[in-house]
């Protein structure tokens, strides 16, 4: 699968840039500064961990289950905030969070580079009247990652 090599190359570059940047942040910065959604930097990184995990699961399911796939959209109706709260990212060890984000994102890259080409048009039901193809979901992930890293940048 070569279709997503440019995406994974860019994600690898982002990880290389952001890992040391995140590691150098003081505790006050990651725990006290909040964005417009009232999320701290720790909460935003936790959301990225959740997003990566959920996307990996969708990608796997979309390759062996019937399309369109019914699979929970953890972001619907603010549920992603529930995920952040339930997992208590605010009190998670920062260095472990960074490593979890890094390695789960690297695994995401591995997974997308091994997607079955014949399954790329399979659809996930993201909401009422909103189906998303596996291909589109993979492509959108990079924009989602950049969006939340830009939020972190604004808080620095």
Q: pLDDT, tens digit, for every residue of 3-30?
A: 899 999 999 999 999 999 999 999 999 9
pLDDT value of position 72: 84
Q: What is the DSSP string of 43-105?
A: HHHHHHHHHHHHHHHHHHHHTTSPSSB----TTGGGHHHHHHHHHTGGGS-HHHHHHHHHHHH
pLDDT category at 1 given cuts 50, 70, 90 is low
The whole-number pLDDT of residue 74 equals: 76
Neighbours of 125 (CB within 10 A): 15
Query: Which whole number is the average pLDDT over 32-60?
Result: 95
CB 132 within 8 A of CB 126: yes
Q: What is the pLDDT of residue 11?
A: 98
Considering only the top CATH level, what class is 5-155?
mainly alpha
Residues 119-149 have pLDDT tens digits of: 999 999 998 889 999 999 999 999 999 999 9
Q: Are 122 and 134 in contact (CB under 8 A)?
A: yes
Please tell me the predicted confidence (pLDDT) of residue 109: 98
Crossing angle (nearest 10°) for helices 134-155 and 5-23 = 20
Query: Given this model, what pLDDT does residue 77 score?
Result: 64
pLDDT digits (tens, 9 = 90+) for 57-88: 999 999 999 999 998 887 776 688 889 999 99
Residue 25 token pair: 């942040």
Residue 2 has pLDDT above 70, yes or no: yes
Please report which confidence band the pLDDT of residue 101 belongs to, taking 50, 70 and 90 as the band edges.
very high
Q: What is the mean pLDDT of residues 107-125?
A: 97
């Amino acid at each position: 699968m070569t279709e997503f090599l440019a995406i994974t190359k860019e994600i690898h570059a982002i990880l290389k840039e952001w890992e040391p940047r995140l590691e150098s942040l003081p505790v006050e910065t990651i725990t006290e500064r909040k964005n417009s959604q009232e999320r701290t930097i720790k909460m935003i990184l936790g959301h990225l961990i959740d997003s990566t995990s959920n996307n990996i699961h969708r990608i796997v399911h979309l390759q062996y289950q019937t399309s369109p796939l019914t699979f929970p959209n953890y972001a619907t109706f603010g549920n992603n905030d529930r995920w952040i709260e339930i997992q208590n990212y605010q009190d998670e060890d920062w260095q472990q969070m960074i490593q979890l984000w890094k390695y789960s994102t690297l695994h995401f890259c591995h997974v997308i580079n091994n997607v079955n080409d014949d399954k790329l048009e399979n659809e996930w039901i993201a909401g009422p009247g909103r189906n998303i193809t596996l291909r589109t979901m993979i492509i959108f992930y990079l924009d989602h990652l950049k969006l939340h890293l830009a939020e972190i940048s604004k808080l620095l």
